[in-house]
């Protein structure tokens, strides 16, 4: 088969790869119904995260089970399944506490921008749907694999509750779905920080009540002004830069919560400054597996339509154009059909 490989910055190739096979008895092989490009794929693509030679790419996936290993019990060939970007046994102590992305047997998925994928720990990682869903549901279902699960964790980790005032830093797909998640969790006021018109209107569609276009200290000043001088109850940091992290921390009120789900690159925090902020900080790779059944249900019951973050659809063999479009911010997120 052919799969997506990053050779060096901005050099994405769709090229021959070995056919995935069952390696462990706990593995499953799935035929991909859809996959996509993640905002986090752009870090190595832009050369901001080093790679050691040619690197197979992709970690968001859903599809039909083709084959399972001899120890797999809860997943069967023919089922439509969705899994997280982090594999999990779903039985170890970390999994039982709801932190499946820190599973003691975790592997980070890669190689998903391909037509066929091996998924380790299939029983604990994959969630089957009741039947094979119709094609029009694929974009929204695919988002549960990472980008919606991550946005949802951002809202949950920032303690969004009915009546909360929420700020979302970052207007990428995760930030936009953080807005959707905050709305679902009952936030009363959702302030999206974005200076991009198309993304602002999607944020509004997902539930944003206000838009702030200023960034950095100016952005923080606007938030403080809009919240009677105290700051927001919950702030979702969905970028991962020094500026966005400080913007998030300073936008929260004393006693407020800041979640951070953008993979940090070059972020450094000052202990004493943090001490006097008086905030709760909670982030990391989202335990998407914890939320998968709930999010899949919301999609299947047409309560949410997170698939709207895909504003570009390409055949999988044109994956390189998907990276380019996202890198140049021509597209929010690229949906890939094998
Ligand atoms: Zn585990």
Task: Determine the distance separating the centroid of ligand 1 and the alpha carbon of 99, expressed in angstroms.
Answer: 8
Task: Determine the distance separating the centroid of ligand 1 and the alpha carbon of 173, expressed in angstroms.
Answer: 27
How many CB atoms within 10 Å of residue 87? 25
pTM > 0.95: yes or no: yes
Task: Determine the distance separating the centroid of ligand 1 and the alpha carbon of 41, expressed in angstroms.
Answer: 25
**Cα–Cα distance measured from residue 146 to residue 222, given in angstroms and rounded to the nearest whole number:** 31
SS3 13: strand
Task: Determine the distance separating the centroid of ligand 1 and the alpha carbon of 105, expressed in angstroms.
Answer: 6
Residue 178: the pLDDT is 98
Task: Determine the distance separating the centroid of ligand 1 and the alpha carbon of 22, expressed in angstroms.
Answer: 20
Task: Determine the distance separating the centroid of ligand 1 and the alpha carbon of 150, expressed in angstroms.
Answer: 18
Task: Determine the distance separating the centroid of ligand 1 and the alpha carbon of 253, expressed in angstroms.
Answer: 35
Take residue 272 and report the two structure tokens written for it. Answer: 């004493």
**Cα–Cα distance measured from residue 181 to residue 286, given in angstroms and rounded to the nearest whole number:** 14
Residue 263: the pLDDT is 87
Burial of residue 189, with CB atoms counted within 10 A of its CB: 0-12 exposed, 13-18 middle, 19 or more buried: middle
Task: Determine the distance separating the centroid of ligand 1 and the alpha carbon of 306, expressed in angstroms.
Answer: 28
Task: Determine the distance separating the centroid of ligand 1 and the alpha carbon of 96, expressed in angstroms.
Answer: 7
**Cα–Cα distance measured from residue 60 to residue 252, given in angstroms and rounded to the nearest whole number:** 31
Task: Determine the distance separating the centroid of ligand 1 and the alpha carbon of 243, expressed in angstroms.
Answer: 34
Per-residue confidence in pLDDT tens, the chain, 338 aa: 999 999 999 999 999 999 999 999 999 999 999 999 999 999 999 999 899 999 999 999 999 999 999 999 999 999 999 999 999 999 999 999 999 999 999 999 999 999 999 999 999 999 999 999 999 999 999 999 999 999 999 999 999 999 999 999 999 999 999 999 999 999 999 999 999 999 999 999 999 999 999 999 999 999 999 999 999 999 999 999 999 999 999 999 999 999 999 889 999 999 999 999 999 999 999 999 999 999 999 999 999 999 999 999 999 999 999 999 999 999 999 999 99
Take residue 292 and report the two structure tokens written for it. Answer: 């998968």
Whether residue 238 contacts residue 246, with contact meaning beta carbons closer than 8 Å, is answered with no
How many CB atoms within 10 Å of residue 66? 15
Contacts of 10 (CB under 8 A, 6+ apart): 45, 46, 47, 323, 327
Task: Determine the distance separating the centroid of ligand 1 and the alpha carbon of 247, expressed in angstroms.
Answer: 34
Q: Give the position of tokens 């029009």.
A: 136
Task: Determine the distance separating the centroid of ligand 1 and the alpha carbon of 227, expressed in angstroms.
Answer: 40
Whether residue 39 contacts residue 173, with contact meaning beta carbons closer than 8 Å, is answered with yes
Beta bridge partners of 335: 36, 313
In degrees, rounded to 5, the angle at the alpha carbon of residue 143 between the alpha carbons of residues 300 and 63 is 75
Residue 262: the pLDDT is 87
């Amino acid at each position: 088969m052919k799969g997506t490989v990053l050779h060096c910055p901005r050099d994405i190739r769709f090229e021959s790869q070995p056919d995935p096979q069952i390696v462990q008895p706990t593995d499953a092989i799935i035929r991909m119904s859809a996959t996509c490009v993640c905002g986090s794929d752009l870090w190595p693509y832009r050369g901001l995260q080093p790679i050691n030679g040619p690197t197979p790419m992709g970690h968001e996936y859903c599809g039909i089970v083709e084959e399972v290993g001899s120890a797999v019990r809860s997943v069967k060939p023919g089922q439509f399944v969705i899994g997280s970007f982090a594999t999990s046994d779903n039985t170890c102590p970390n999994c039982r506490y709801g932190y499946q992305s820190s599973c003691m047997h975790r592997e980070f998925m890669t190689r998903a921008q391909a037509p066929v994928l091996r998924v380790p720990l299939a029983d604990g990682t994959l969630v089957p749907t009741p039947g094979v869903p119709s094609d029009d549901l694929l974009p929204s279902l695919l988002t549960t694999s990472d980008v919606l699960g991550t946005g949802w964790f951002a809202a949950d980790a920032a303690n969004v509750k009915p009546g909360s005032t929420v700020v979302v830093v970052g207007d990428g797909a995760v930030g936009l779905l953080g807005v959707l998640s905050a709305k679902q969790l009952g936030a009363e006021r959702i302030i999206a920080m974005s200076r991009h018109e198309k993304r602002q209107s999607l944020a509004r569609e997902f539930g944003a009540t206000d838009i702030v276009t200023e960034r950095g200290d100016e952005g923080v000043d606007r938030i403080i002004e809009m919240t009677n001088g105290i700051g927001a109850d919950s702030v979702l940091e969905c970028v991962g830069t020094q500026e966005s992290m400080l913007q998030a921390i300073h936008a929260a009120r004393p006693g407020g919560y800041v979640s951070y789900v953008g993979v940090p690159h070059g972020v450094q925090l000052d202990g004493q400054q943090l001490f006097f902020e008086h905030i709760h900080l909670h982030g990391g790779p989202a335990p998407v597996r914890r939320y998968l059944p709930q999010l899949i249900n919301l999609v299947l019951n047409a309560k949410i339509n997170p698939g709207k973050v895909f504003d570009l659809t390409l055949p999988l063999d044109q994956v390189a154009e998907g990276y380019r479009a996202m890198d140049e911010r021509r597209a929010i997120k690229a949906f890939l059909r094998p």
